Amino acid sequence: MIIGGGPGGYEAALVAAQLGAEVTVVDCDGLGGASVLTDCVPSKTLIATAEVMTTFDSSYEELGIIVADDTPPMEQAARVVGVDLGKVNRRVKRLALAQSHDITASVTRAGARVMRGRGRLEGMQALDGSRKVVVRAADGSEETLTADAVLIATGGHPRELPDARPDGERILNWTQVYDLDELPEELIVVGSGVTGAEFAGAYQALGSRVTLVSSRDRVLPGEDPDAAAVLEDVFRRRGMNVMSRSRAQSAKRVGDRVEVTLADGRVITGSHCLVAVGAIPNTEGMGLEEAGVKLKDSGHIRTDRVSRTSAPGVYAAGDVTGVFALASVAAMQGRIAMYHFLGDAVTPLNLKTVSSNVFTDPEIATVGYSQADVDAGKIDARVVKLPLLRNPRAKMQGIRDGFVKIFCRPGTEIVVGGVVVAPRASELIHPISLAVDNNLTVEQIANAFTVYPSLSGSIAEVARQLHTRKAGAEG
């Protein structure tokens, strides 16, 4: 039995069904969960449109591209690129629903049963090791099912500030922005983590005047500091008002405007406000603690590296566990849970091999140990960072911002981490991820051929510099 249809749930269902188990997936919104319906897929679809705008806006003059309206003379022509947000958002929602339907079709084809409703655990484990799950349908009817094992993959929902409750019109959370028909003229984004930074960059690219309110001393406080510095510089250069060390206390509507009051008493105004201050796990009202499932103070479910909870026969995967809030990690947790329960070969989750990406422009991709780990002495590593400005392909494309950084062990030269800041860094991080996952050395990366010219050439160049520095030290 799987409660929740996000990446952890539907990937677990596919694995279990393929291994011959009888599978039921209980979900109230549609398979794919928040990741597909209100979070990852919609936001990255919106960002894809913004990316086109940003790429054009930042490069067209340098590359010699002329954009003109129909009014001569050409020398007086103005740029006429704009966006129809209503059309963009209709496409966003259409693609999200289509993806959810595709997932449902895949799961049912594999032989799993899909039920619409909300599931909760009932009581303790039975003497035969089974668990009872009560499924409540939208009409209020309930059905009790018995399962040999239960996977909880119910995800999370946007955290709200007590004095900044979303109304879905002017004060919004990240699930509500896709109902907008017109581009916000002046958007205040509260929260400078991944979600806040992604939306701030996207709406700025689409044409909004954006103010980003950050309670910390920089944007993306959880990311590589060099990468965050590059992004903040880009934001400011493109006209974004980045307010560091400015904690939002409240937000309220005043007519067709929004007033955001900061903790120090300052008040900023805009046409809209997006509150992006984290997520809360969907664990309330599920009977978890009564069933012996231990929760963290944050409400997240405690799990081990094979997705087991403290209750026998109960597993958990995805954002509800508070591990990495990534669809890829949720999916892996779900697969691992099923492999473990069904007695198949299983490799425990290793977070140091997880690659992640911030879909801003430029993107920020990371894998393995971080600069913070090195600075804190958690690992002894050598580091080389190479700006993309030196890369011939970057020069051809008018790319000014970004770098490649690789961490390797001093003695063995094994690659233990990396950071890429670049357009489509999400694609460029993969060779470093392979190196981290397979304990490759910088020499092995340096000796592999890369296409010339290419952005990936910078990865090989950083590896060469790390290797030659060691050779130079030994000589």
User: Does the annotation list 198 as a binding residue?
Assistant: yes
352 has binding-site annotation: no
119 is an annotated ligand-binding site residue: yes
Residue 59 annotated in ligand binding: no
Determine how many CB atoms are found less than 10 A away from the CB of residue 98: 12
Residue 322: which of 341, 294, 360 has the closest Cα?
294
User: Which residue is associated with the tokens 């700006």?
Assistant: 387
Q: 196: annotated binding-site residue? A: yes
Q: Does 319 show up as a binding residue in the annotation?
A: yes
Residue 123 neighbours by CB distance under 10 Å: 12
Say how far apart CA 224 and CA 420 lie, in whole Å.
10
The answer to the question of whether 193 is labelled as a binding residue is yes
Q: Helix %, strand %, coil % for the chain, to 5?
A: 35, 25, 40
> 231-240 burial string, b = 16+ CB within 10 Å, else e?
bbebbeeeeb
Picking from 93, 106, 89, 125, the residue whose alpha carbon sits closest to that of residue 5 is: 106
Residue type for 129, please?
G
Extended beta strands in 193-256, E state: 209-213, 241-243, 248-254
The conformation of residue 313, written as its DSSP 8-state character, comes to T
Q: Is 197 annotated as a binding residue?
A: yes
Residue numbers belonging to the annotated binding site = 44, 119, 191-198, 278, 319
Binding-site residue numbers for FAD are 44, 119, 319
- Enumerate the known binding-site residues for NAD(+): 191-198, 278
